[in-house]
Structure 1
């Protein structure tokens, strides 16, 4: 039986993937921060005869310590992990800069640091399987945003858009660095951009932008079941290369600063030092 770990697994694309793999007979560990959503997922799993294979793990992924605890919890109950899907994200496009209890800027912590900890922390569990894959869901290939090397925590001139885009660019480099650092690993690391998908993301936006975004989603967005299909294809039949990037069904060239290996290794070193100071 395969074991699939999905962060953000109780909502949106993560939930869609969780239900897909439960229907396929896998054991699914869905990580989320809201117990009510976790309970709803478990209730739906019961309706498809998968109650014994569905697990909800409550975790605050804005915390490095909590992400490390999550790694330990997974390793204590699973001899191996076949697939790790990193979907957890909460957009903070507006409002003042928020800091986690460990002192990290919120988006940097949730959307990047948690993925760094889980990717490297679960490597041994993934390497214990025959065809392990990590899928990091973000926006590879989008030429927006950059790494603010002199101010990773955006203490100066903060904006929600700047922090969100930096977290996406950091995740591109995370995949590049993972492949470079683990040259002999059987793990295939996939950076994935799902396009515009009809999820609950607009609920976090202020009015009137919330209403406008919902209206645009009605016209432009792909449904979750349709968006899950190409993701499943990559997860079940990952490319041969250690790191690849994709937008829906299109494979992206690994060119430019977004996928620069020197930058990736630089960010890896900075991140390693940051989290080990916690």
Structure 2
């Protein structure tokens, strides 16, 4: 039986993928921060007669310690993880800069740092699987945003949009660095762009932008069930060890600054230092 761990698995595309894996007979660990959503996920698993294969782990992924405890909880529950899918994201495009109790800017902590910790922390369990995969869901190949190397926490020039886009670019570099840091890894690390998907994300936006975004989703966004299909195929038939980037079914060229190995290793070492000094 395959074991799948999905962060952000109580909403949107993460939830759609979690339900798909349950239908396929896998054991699924869903990670989220909201108990009510976790209970709803478990109820849906029960309706599929898969309650014995479904587990909800309530975790605040903005916390370095809580993410570390999540790694230990998964380690204590299983000896193999076949697929790790990193979907947890919360857009904060407006409003003031907020920091976590660890002192990290919110988007940096949730959308990048937790993914860094989980990918590296669960590596041994993944490498015990026949075809191990990490899928980091973001926007590879989109030329928006950049790394603020002299101010990664955006203390001087914060905006929600800058923080969100920097987290996307950081995740591109996270994937690039992974096979350099673990040169003998068997893990297929996939940066994945699902396109515009009809999820609940607009609920976090202020009016009237929320209404406009919902209207746009209704016209142009891909339904979750349809968006999940190419993700599931890629997870089941990964390209092989190393890093690849994809938008839907199309593999992207790894060229230019977004996938620069020197920048990727620079970010890796900076992140190690940030975590050790907190």
By the TM > 0.5 criterion, same fold?
A: yes
Q: Deviations over 1:133-166 (max 9, x none)?
A: 0000000000010110000000011100000000
Determine the C-alpha separation between the residues in 2 that align with 1:53 and 1:29.
8
Q: Deviations over 1:67-88 (max 9, x none)?
A: 1110001001111100000000
TM-score normalized with structure 1 length: 0.99
Determine the C-alpha separation between the residues in 2 that align with 1:179 and 1:90.
27
In the TM superposition, residue 210 of structure 1 has moved relative to its aligned partner by 0.1
In the TM superposition, residue 240 of structure 1 has moved relative to its aligned partner by 2.4
Determine the C-alpha separation between the residues in 2 that align with 1:39 and 1:241.
36
Determine the C-alpha separation between the residues in 1 that align with 2:239 and 2:68.
28
Q: Deviations over 1:203-261 (max 9, x none)?
A: 00000000000000000000000000000011000002510000111110000010000
Which 4+ stretches in 1 moved above 4 angstroms? none
Determine the C-alpha separation between the residues in 1 that align with 2:191 and 2:20.
20
Q: Find the counterpart in structure 2 of residue 114 from structure 1.
A: 114
Q: Find the counterpart in structure 2 of residue 57 from structure 1.
A: 57
- 1:74-113 correspondence to structure 2 within 5 Å: 74-113=74-113
Q: Find the counterpart in structure 1 of residue 159 from structure 2.
A: 159
Q: Find the counterpart in structure 2 of residue 33 from structure 1.
A: 33
Determine the C-alpha separation between the residues in 1 that align with 2:129 and 2:240.
16
Determine the C-alpha separation between the residues in 2 that align with 1:276 and 1:116.
14
In the TM superposition, residue 183 of structure 1 has moved relative to its aligned partner by 1.8
In the TM superposition, residue 182 of structure 1 has moved relative to its aligned partner by 1.3
Q: Find the counterpart in structure 2 of residue 175 from structure 1.
A: 175
Q: Does 1:263 align with 2:273?
A: no
**SS of the residue 1:166 aligns to:** helix
Determine the C-alpha separation between the residues in 2 that align with 1:96 and 1:211.
22
RMSD, aligned CA: 0.6
Determine the C-alpha separation between the residues in 2 that align with 1:276 and 1:121.
15
Q: Deviations over 1:14-54 (max 9, x none)?
A: 10010000000000000000010010010011111100000
Q: Find the counterpart in structure 2 of residue 144 from structure 1.
A: 144
**SS of the residue 1:276 aligns to:** helix
Determine the C-alpha separation between the residues in 2 that align with 1:239 and 1:138.
18
Determine the C-alpha separation between the residues in 2 that align with 1:271 and 1:189.
19
In the TM superposition, residue 3 of structure 1 has moved relative to its aligned partner by 0.3
- For structure 2, which runs of at least 5 residues remain unmatched after alignment? none
Q: Find the counterpart in structure 2 of residue 210 from structure 1.
A: 210
In the TM superposition, residue 124 of structure 1 has moved relative to its aligned partner by 0.3
Determine the C-alpha separation between the residues in 2 that align with 1:57 and 1:156.
35
**SS of the residue 1:85 aligns to:** strand
Determine the C-alpha separation between the residues in 1 that align with 2:276 and 2:199.
34
Determine the C-alpha separation between the residues in 2 that align with 1:129 and 1:244.
19
TM-score normalized with structure 2 length: 0.99
**Is 2:145–2:162's contact at 8 Å kept on the other side of the alignment?**
yes
